[in-house]
Structure 1
Amino acid sequence: AINIITKRPAKNEGTIGIEIGEHETNRFYLVSSIKGEKMGVSFWAENQTQGLIDETGDGESPEEVKKPDGLSDRVKTNLVNAGFRLISENLIGDDRLTLSGKTLHELRQGGRLTDDTYENPFTESTERIITDRYELLSSYKRAFSHGGKLNITFAMANHRRNATNDAFLCDYISIHGEPPPLDEMRPYIAKEKTLTWNMNYVHPLKAQRFLFGLQYSYNYLKEKGKYVVVDEEDEAYGETYTSTSKKEAREAGVYVQDEVSVSDKIEMVLGLRYDIHKSKDQFRGSGKVAPSFEPVKYNRTSINPRLALRLSITPSLSLRGSAGTGFRVPYGFSEDLHLCSGSPRVWKGDDLKPERSISLSLSIDCEKENFSGNVSFYRTFLKDKIGFVEAGEEARSLGYTYEWKNIEDAYVQGIEVGGSFVVFSSILFDVSFTLNDGKYRNPREDWSGTGYEEESRYISRLPMYTLNVSTALSYRSLKVSLDGALTGPMFIDYYENEETPRKIKRTDPYILLDGKISWRLHRNLFLYAGGKNLTNYIQPEKHTDDAAFIYAPLYGRILYAGVKVHVE
């Protein structure tokens, strides 16, 4: 995703900060802005580091888990990023032009700590990921004398990932009984380019505001990795091959929206969006493993309406409702896949249906001088929900290991309650509570015959309830904040060796606490100290053979302190 931030520098100011924490959890940053009559410039730079942490091992109870196993629970990280933002106003009228750029470099290393084995990316039980990313962003806004507004945004990004783990090495050793030749050891390389463009125009018509917009995005992803044929029935069993994929996607959309003031108390929004999705996946192996075949093309269109209503019951109390549809097509990197998305061998057949949704919501909002609150009810119907599963016979024959598949229809529904209020003019409380429920219509196919058919209906990682409470106290030069989060039970899959379904665990609820205290010692000098995961909670069950079996912290409390200098 590319985020476009167009906040205008408000004044000439600068901030320098240093934060030091346990386990090399450090942060160094610089932020500065300059404001002119028609122009503002800001820039920032940051370096974050995290050291290795090993506090847990495999086990099914807290007593077993809280024993270090020599493998990192938190990887070693060194992140450097920097950026700038230039905003110019009144170039040719009532307008604003924004230009910004960002660069990021990150090194992540993890694995076995003995003799610093993790420093060698081509050994067992190690991983290394090098990420480089560059972004350029621009936006233009123009207001016209008749009340119309034009908005244009453009963004581009180049993303490169160099990653290694021990999958190729271990597969080779398990078959041949010895490590592969050194020149066979190669990292997984991914290169991605993204372009997005959006334009819309808003025009007032008496008691209406009409919006018309166009949107386009282009994404190109090239991946290359080294693999071993592990299927014993394959005639190429034990052979190594290079797997290369090229994935390309284009999406275009047209959308219209009409905001209507029906009366002083009733507002209505009508919207309609038409989307076109075209993507192409091309796979090429080497040797006897899928040397080449025709690219898989995927073309889909979708029309999605939207309706929203707002009723102002009193000046401080309002009722809102909305209904709309949407669709989703998997492509490239997906948070659903954890690090599995790095594999070129993910099949998306042309028979895959888009995941479609119908969403309904109803909420009540209250705004007072020292209080604001809301209660929301929502329900989303998911048709042909897409999941990530092991490859079927057709996909395996082409050299793929995983594939996207329409699993089942499903729903997600819940209640959200939130509010914030001020006590004694110096204490702020912010509270939010949710109740969630999400299920597939039928049990998932890969859990058939395991004894967990009914549990497989629950959508994984969806907590049954959550409670978040934040409080902040300000007294003269002292500020104290405390954040608490209660996460309710959820269902999470455990696949032995990331392949064989073993059980679906219903987790226990847990509480996390973060706190911070800061002092203003001088007009420009601030000191602060704090802690994360103050309850020292650690996930009570762990299986290292399933990297996705993570639902809570794998390491405990982190304390830190810092100093900040702010100059205006």
Structure 2
Amino acid sequence: MKQLFLFLFFLSASMISKAQTDVAVQGHIFHLGIPLEGATVKIGDMQRGTVSDSSGKYVLKGLVNGNYRLSVSRLGFKSQMKVFQVTDQQNINLDFSMEEEEGGLEEVVITGTMKEVNRLETPVPVEVYNQHFFKKNPTATIFDALQMVNGVRPQINCNVCNTGDIHINGLEGPYTMVLIDGMPIVSGLSTVYGLSGIPSSLIERVEVVKGPASSLYGSEAVGGLINIITKKPQNASKLSTDVFATTWGEYNADIGFNQQIGKSANVLTGINYFNFTNRIDRNHDGFTDMTLQDRISVFQKWNFNRKENRLFSLAGRYLYEDRWGGQTNWNKSFRGSDQIYGESIYTKRWEILGNYQLPIKEKMFFMFSYNDHDQNSVYGEDWYMAKQRIAFGQLTWDKQLESHDLLAGVAVRYTYYNDNTPATARTGTNGEIINDANKITMPGVFIQDEIKLAAKHSLLLGMRYDYNSEHGNIFTPRMAYKWRITENDILRLNAGTGFRVVNLFTEDHAAITGARDVELEGDLKPERSINVNLNYIKKLQLGDGNLLSFESSAWYTYFNNRILPNYDEDPRKIIYRNLDGHGVTRGLSLNADLAMYNGLKLTVGGTWMNVFNKERNEEGIMEKFRPILTENWTATWALSYHIKALNLGVDYTGNVYGPMRLALLSELDPRPAYAPVWSIQNIQFTWHGGTNLEIYGGVKNLLNWTISKSVPALDKGEGSGIKSPIARSFDPFNEKVIYGENGQIIPTPDNPYALQFDPDGYSYGPNQGIRGFLGLRVRI
């Protein structure tokens, strides 16, 4: 009997155990409502795991009764964990909605080496900012969005038309190269007028490299580069909309469509529309505080399905913009006249870009792009008509060897530029002035080799040779060393050279507004630079679920042949010449990210920089001076907290800038020679109605700061009492300004401070004050 009882006991136990082993945990993994393939699913410390399939589904079988921790992870996404219990042999269903990392160290980057590589593995420091980061302070253009990036400052170059460029580490906009999907689309004229209309709903992330990258990307990548990477059609939502409006009367709409075309292709379409038509003049200077704009941009990207998963993508964009600013009683009938001042700009632009992987065994890619920019603009009574066309092609070969990772390529770039200014004028044989379009061809070849020296050490060596049809041979080498001290500590040392071929009239807005005449001293030679950058990354686990990571950099750049505009010598002129000396920019930066288990996240960054030039004076002595519009220090922050009970997110973002030198018009100019410390701060509340609906709103520029806050009210002559960054806004055609023989302004009772109308020289920040905003995001 006893033996029979034991037999039945063990038989029952084996049957229960067998039943329990049939229990499974299963579910689906999504990102923005789209199935996420390739996510790793693991149970606690058990050696059990699986990977989600193309439908996002995962299954783990063979579980017995008990408590478990299920974790899900994928490169570029925040890891997630859920606790569950198995009882009564019931299967468990758990779904996950993954979020992308915000500048995470594990993200894949392309920009530093032209290859997809884990951010921690690349020897070139790359900062990554994805769409979730920019949603903390929604903006109508990528130009405005970059104000949240440490060491990057969108510079407003005109108080009337509000155009600008991007400064990196104290270097002016022409030293920054802007790419779309790795190709030089935004350059020349579009650096000033075309860095807008890229639908934010189609941007996957923005990668930033600080310091020269000319050995890979060629001219313009001297101060650094910004690579705007658009989404892959197969990873985008079927339909996405993002619309918002502000209390100033700004309206912005982003719409994205994703469609499968049979089995051969995916196509992603994006439309951006922005409108602002209110004539607001809060500082009472008679001029619009913000440029009126009507802009539409259409973007489409195709990804074709090919054998062996070879890449072929093709994209195109068209932009049209009508913007104007000026005296509030201006209308289009005054366009180009000297009666009422206005700056009116019509921009038509289209571009195409593609990437094709050759159908051969070797890993070779052909990248190509073409853009056409047509601009019809007028500044008061001065017309500026310009056309620019840029064609680009590049063939790369990626080869993996035992301890070498090779990349070699050939590239060619053709630039056509024509306008109605002295930039494209030459003197004929009979002394007549002939318009002659500028045409530059620049073929190049480059190679880089990333060498695995040891398990924790790697060395990248690279060089590039270009031939400029106007300036001849240009050689730019580079070196990068990476030491992975531990899994959480990385040290990088980068050194290289840069070069920049100057196109003044396509880069400097002040050179074309008509407020000053342009004078060139001698033949301008290309600028050259030498750069060294030391970078350190540290990652810390603070308790259970709290993560702190920080990245610090120190850099030094030395310039030869630097070209700077001289506003001080003659108020009626901008004088350009190669510096008879050298320029230096050096500094320190720190970025820190804190992510806490309770939902609090803090991103903060600070940069200290020392930018100066040394030039030989008439006595042959080297004099040191600071360029205009270069701050000594800057800081940014983004503080976020998610209130789970309310499904409510709170984002507090801002920046602060130290003093920068400004251009004055005379020794009697009463305006401060240096800008004050100023800050733009914003707050936003976002309600999440599931994964597909967001309603957001908040306040921008909480401190209501504008340039006019730092300008003294004039107390003499006409215009007394006006606090305006536009000098003599009441006399925009300088009808009552008297000049001496040397070009200097003569003080008069009506002009006691010896000023002239100048819409650009004292422009360094926004004229737009505090405003509320409300928006809606929907995804299908």
**TM value normalised by structure 2:** 0.58
- Residue 347 of structure 1 deviates from its aligned partner by 6.7
Whether 1:381 aligns to 2:558 is yes
Query: What is aligned with 1:484?
Result: 654
Whether 1:340 aligns to 2:555 is no
Instruction: Please give the secondary structure, in 1, of the residue aligned with 2:311.
Output: strand
Pair 42,554 (structure 1): closer, same or farther in 2 beyond 3 Å: same
* 8 Å CA contact 1:55, 1:554 repeated in 2: no
* 8 Å CA contact 1:332, 1:341 repeated in 2: no
* 8 Å CA contact 1:32, 1:43 repeated in 2: yes
- Residue 96 of structure 1 deviates from its aligned partner by 0.8
- Residue 319 of structure 1 deviates from its aligned partner by 0.8
- Residue 79 of structure 1 deviates from its aligned partner by 0.7
* 8 Å CA contact 1:52, 1:110 repeated in 2: no
CA shift digits 1:11-44 (9 cap, x unpaired): 5521123312122211122111135765321001
* 8 Å CA contact 1:82, 1:104 repeated in 2: yes
Q: Which of 748, 751, 769 lines up with 1:556 in the alignment? A: 769
CA shift digits 1:186-245 (9 cap, x unpaired): x4321111111111111112110111111111111121269xxxxxxxxxxxxxx99845
Whether 1:432 aligns to 2:432 is no
Letter in 2 for 1:270: L
Query: What is aligned with 1:107?
Result: 322
Pair 85,274 (structure 1): closer, same or farther in 2 beyond 3 Å: same
Instruction: Please give the secondary structure, in 2, of the residue aligned with 1:262.
Output: strand
Pair 342,536 (structure 1): closer, same or farther in 2 beyond 3 Å: closer
Query: What is aligned with 2:232?
Result: 8
* 8 Å CA contact 1:493, 1:503 repeated in 2: no
Letter in 2 for 1:156: Y
* 8 Å CA contact 1:110, 1:118 repeated in 2: no
Instruction: Please give the secondary structure, in 2, of the residue aligned with 1:217.
Output: strand
- Residue 255 of structure 1 deviates from its aligned partner by 0.7
Residues in 2 aligned to 1:487 and 1:19: alpha-carbon distance in whole angstroms: 28
CA shift digits 1:148-173 (9 cap, x unpaired): 521221100111111112244xxxxx
Pair 157,333 (structure 1): closer, same or farther in 2 beyond 3 Å: farther
Query: What is aligned with 2:50?
Result: none
- Residue 300 of structure 1 deviates from its aligned partner by 2.7
Q: Which of 421, 431, 438 lines up with 2:594 in the alignment? A: 421
Residues in 2 aligned to 1:8 and 1:117: alpha-carbon distance in whole angstroms: 43
CA shift digits 1:277-311 (9 cap, x unpaired): 12xxxxxxxxxxxxxxxxxxx32321111111001
Residues in 1 aligned to 2:616 and 2:391: alpha-carbon distance in whole angstroms: 39
Residues in 2 aligned to 1:192 and 1:332: alpha-carbon distance in whole angstroms: 14
Pair 467,523 (structure 1): closer, same or farther in 2 beyond 3 Å: closer
Q: What pairs up with 1:366-405 in 2 under 5 angstroms?
A: 366-368=538-540, 370-389=547-566, 404-405=576-577
Query: What is aligned with 2:625?
Result: 457
Instruction: Please give the secondary structure, in 1, of the residue aligned with 2:180.
Output: coil
Q: Larger strand proportion, structure 1 or 2?
A: 1
Residues in 1 aligned to 2:290 and 2:433: alpha-carbon distance in whole angstroms: 30
Query: What is aligned with 1:397?
Result: none
Letter in 2 for 1:267: S
Residues in 2 aligned to 1:119 and 1:302: alpha-carbon distance in whole angstroms: 49
CA shift digits 1:518-543 (9 cap, x unpaired): 11246643221122211101111223
Query: What is aligned with 1:25?
Result: 250
- Residue 332 of structure 1 deviates from its aligned partner by 5.8
Pair 263,249 (structure 1): closer, same or farther in 2 beyond 3 Å: same
Pair 38,347 (structure 1): closer, same or farther in 2 beyond 3 Å: farther
Pair 390,558 (structure 1): closer, same or farther in 2 beyond 3 Å: closer
Whether 1:519 aligns to 2:702 is no
Q: RMSD of the alignment, in Å?
A: 3.2
Whether 1:275 aligns to 2:466 is yes
- Residue 341 of structure 1 deviates from its aligned partner by 4.4
Residues in 2 aligned to 1:485 and 1:50: alpha-carbon distance in whole angstroms: 25
Whether 1:265 aligns to 2:265 is no
Pair 362,381 (structure 1): closer, same or farther in 2 beyond 3 Å: same
Instruction: Please give the secondary structure, in 1, of the residue aligned with 2:683.
Output: strand
Instruction: Please give the secondary structure, in 1, of the residue aligned with 2:509.
Output: helix
Letter in 2 for 1:429: L
Query: What is aligned with 1:566?
Result: 779
Q: Which moved more, 1:242-251 or 1:45-54?
A: 242-251
Q: What pairs up with 1:324-339 in 2 under 5 angstroms?
A: 324-331=496-503, 333-335=505-507, 337-339=508-510
**TM value normalised by structure 1:** 0.78
Pair 90,435 (structure 1): closer, same or farther in 2 beyond 3 Å: same
Residues in 1 aligned to 2:305 and 2:265: alpha-carbon distance in whole angstroms: 6
CA shift digits 1:66-114 (9 cap, x unpaired): x4111112111111011100001324x3411011110000001111113
For structure 2, which runs of at least 5 residues remain unmatched after alignment? 1-177, 182-228, 423-431, 542-546, 712-724, 728-756
Residues in 1 aligned to 2:242 and 2:535: alpha-carbon distance in whole angstroms: 41
Pair 460,332 (structure 1): closer, same or farther in 2 beyond 3 Å: closer
Letter in 2 for 1:76: L
Query: What is aligned with 2:484?
Result: 312
Residues in 1 aligned to 2:540 and 2:357: alpha-carbon distance in whole angstroms: 33
Whether 1:88 aligns to 2:304 is yes
Instruction: Please give the secondary structure, in 2, of the residue aligned with 1:442.
Output: strand
CA shift digits 1:346-383 (9 cap, x unpaired): 67687322211000011111134522211111000011
Instruction: Please give the secondary structure, in 2, of the residue aligned with 1:461.
Output: coil
* 8 Å CA contact 1:215, 1:253 repeated in 2: yes
Whether 1:535 aligns to 2:749 is no
Letter in 2 for 1:40: N
Residues in 2 aligned to 1:306 and 1:501: alpha-carbon distance in whole angstroms: 46
* 8 Å CA contact 1:224, 1:242 repeated in 2: no
Letter in 2 for 1:127: E
- Residue 467 of structure 1 deviates from its aligned partner by 0.9
- Residue 117 of structure 1 deviates from its aligned partner by 4.3
Q: What is the aligned length?
A: 486
- Residue 504 of structure 1 deviates from its aligned partner by 7.9
Pair 564,13 (structure 1): closer, same or farther in 2 beyond 3 Å: same
Q: Which of 34, 51, 59 lines up with 2:259 in the alignment? A: 34
- Residue 2 of structure 1 deviates from its aligned partner by 5.5
Letter in 2 for 1:374: E
Whether 1:252 aligns to 2:446 is no
Q: Which moved more, 1:246-255 or 1:129-138?
A: 246-255
Instruction: Please give the secondary structure, in 1, of the residue aligned with 2:562.
Output: strand
Q: What pairs up with 1:271-310 in 2 under 5 angstroms?
A: 271-278=462-469, 298-310=470-482
* 8 Å CA contact 2:522, 2:577 repeated in 1: no
Pair 410,40 (structure 1): closer, same or farther in 2 beyond 3 Å: same
- Residue 417 of structure 1 deviates from its aligned partner by 0.6
Residues in 2 aligned to 1:390 and 1:518: alpha-carbon distance in whole angstroms: 46
Pair 403,150 (structure 1): closer, same or farther in 2 beyond 3 Å: farther
- Residue 558 of structure 1 deviates from its aligned partner by 2.2
For structure 1, which runs of at least 5 residues remain unmatched after alignment? 57-66, 169-186, 227-240, 279-297, 393-399
Q: Which moved more, 1:125-134 or 1:299-308?
A: 299-308
Whether 1:213 aligns to 2:409 is yes
* 8 Å CA contact 1:100, 1:136 repeated in 2: yes
Query: What is aligned with 1:181?
Result: none
Identical amino acids, percent of aligned pairs: 22
Q: Which of 69, 73, 77 lines up with 2:289 in the alignment? A: 73
Pair 520,18 (structure 1): closer, same or farther in 2 beyond 3 Å: same
Query: What is aligned with 1:291?
Result: none
Residues in 2 aligned to 1:500 and 1:3: alpha-carbon distance in whole angstroms: 46
